[in-house]
Amino acid sequence: MEEEVLKKLRALVGWSSGDGVFCPGGSISNMYAVNLARYQRYPDCKQRGLRALPPLALFTSKECHYSIKKGAAFLGLGTDSVRVVKADERGKMIPEDLERQINLAEAEGAVPFLVTATSGTTVLGAFDPLEAIADVCQRHGLWLHVDAAWGGSVLLSQTHRHLLAGIQRADSVAWNPHKLLTAGLQCSALLLRDTSNLLKRCHGSQASYLFQQDKFYDVALDTGDKVVQCGRRVDCLKLWLMWKAQGGQGLEQRVDQAFALARYLVEELKKREGFELVMEPEFVNVCFWFVPPSLRGKQGSPDYAERLAKVAPVLKERMVKEGSMMVGYQPHGTRGNFFRMVVANPALTQADMDFFLNELERLGQDL
């Protein structure tokens, strides 16, 4: 089942062959990608450890998921080895700055080995320009990993898959069906273009009491040595069953419905006083401020931003205590706290979007 499902996912990325494994979450998928890229460049490090390595540099945008830095720390590279590339106002990595950072790292004596692009950033839902980033990686001979944990499922949609144009040029892709496709937690795939058994060479330890080579069946079915875990859950089953039940078209409809509902929410939000979009969404992350009655028309006052930033935490507390909704908020760069409504649940309807806006108005009418 795992092989079949991984093959389908790889085909959607645009690969006719390759490898892959289900991981316990996207953070681990990203960590594996860092480890694989390092091992491919310096296979000695598996045995000799960090002393076999020069100072290394990996590159990711300032909008990346925090697991990239966590992974660098966990793998002994240190967070200083992560070079943060600028993103534009929509949250996309700027390829020209990536090029600049690579040259800068080399000038400082570090060895670049990996670029991590993001398809569907956590807050703004931005998609990095993969073709341009792949060009930079090709020029410098760097491994390209795409963290598509959030946005990968968009590949199922003929209408929207252009957002990930160029993903077939990646060396590895992280994709979480438990996010947009709402497969049961956890269901996270790491996909590789590699056909040289890199996963097993990098992670394997050939324990003779588990991975006997003289079994009566095809030992290629023993995928356990590809991963760092020993015990593994059958995460592929969740996606396999869902795919069987819904079919490719059913899953595509889920994705398209999420986009359509996010668009509906944006249009409704624009009609109401007191709702202000952070930006037009590219994905299903709808980011906005709720401006309560006492702050409307006060944009010019010196403490406006400071007061507006206090609104979302208060409304969050009220909605949770009321038990009516659960919607996240966060600050972002220089922007104060704003709501991030992620429209992903296939059971949501336009009526739920209307309820959401009405409920925010009701909960914030006295602020």
DSSP 365: T
Q: Looking at residue 152, what is its pLDDT?
A: 98
Taking the model in full, what pTM does it have?
Answer: 0.96
Q: Looking at residue 220, what is its pLDDT?
A: 86
How many Å apart are CA 91 and CA 332, to the nearest integer? Answer: 10
Per-residue exposure over 152-191, b if at least 16 CB sit within 10 Å of its own CB, e if not: bbbbbbeebbebbebbebbbbbbbbbbbbbbbeebbbbbb
Q: Looking at residue 366, what is its pLDDT?
A: 96
Minimal CA–CA distance to 260: which of 195, 340, 334, 353? 353
Residue 142: pLDDT over 90: yes
Q: Looking at residue 209, what is its pLDDT?
A: 87
| 3 state SS of 198 | helix
Per mean pLDDT, which range of 156-165, 208-217, 306-315, 342-351 is the poorest? 208-217
How many Å apart are CA 277 and CA 287, to the nearest integer? Answer: 6
Give the ranges where the chain is alpha helix by DSSP (H): 2-13, 26-41, 45-48, 67-74, 95-107, 130-140, 198-203, 236-271, 304-308, 311-322, 350-364
Top-confidence residue, 222 or 102: 102
Residue 267: pLDDT over 90: yes
Residue 224: pLDDT over 90: no
Tell me how crowded residue 93 is: count the other CB atoms within 10 A of its CB. 30
Q: In what order do the strands lie in the sheet with 172-175?
A: 19-23, 188-192, 172-175, 143-147, 111-118, 56-61, 82-85
Q: Looking at residue 83, what is its pLDDT?
A: 98
**pLDDT tens-digit profile of 59-113?**
999 999 999 999 999 999 999 999 999 999 999 999 999 999 999 999 999 999 9
Q: What do you get for the CA distance between the two ends of the chain, in Å? A: 54
Minimal CA–CA distance to 172: which of 219, 221, 125, 137? 137
C-alpha separations of 40 from 48, 67, 261 in Å: 14, 21, 43
**pLDDT tens-digit profile of 281-302?**
999 999 999 999 999 999 999 9
325 CB-near residues (< 8 Å, 6+ apart): 319, 356, 359
Per-residue exposure over 49-66, b if at least 16 CB sit within 10 Å of its own CB, e if not: eeeebeebbbbbbebbbe
DSSP 154: G
Q: Looking at residue 109, what is its pLDDT?
A: 98
How many Å apart are CA 62 and CA 240, to the nearest integer? Answer: 34
Residue 323's pLDDT band (boundaries 50, 70, 90)?
very high
Mean pLDDT of 199-224: 90
Mean pLDDT of 209-216: 88
C-alpha separations of 173 from 33, 41, 54, 119, 270 in Å: 8, 18, 26, 10, 36
Residue 221: pLDDT over 90: no
Q: How many residues comprise the chain?
A: 367
- What proportion of the chain, given as a percentage, has pLDDT over 70? 100
R_g (Cα) of the chain, nearest Å = 22
How many Å apart are CA 42 and CA 202, to the nearest integer? Answer: 10
Mean pLDDT of 104-123: 98
How many Å apart are CA 142 and CA 174, to the nearest integer? Answer: 17
Q: Which amino acid is residue 323, in one-letter code?
A: G
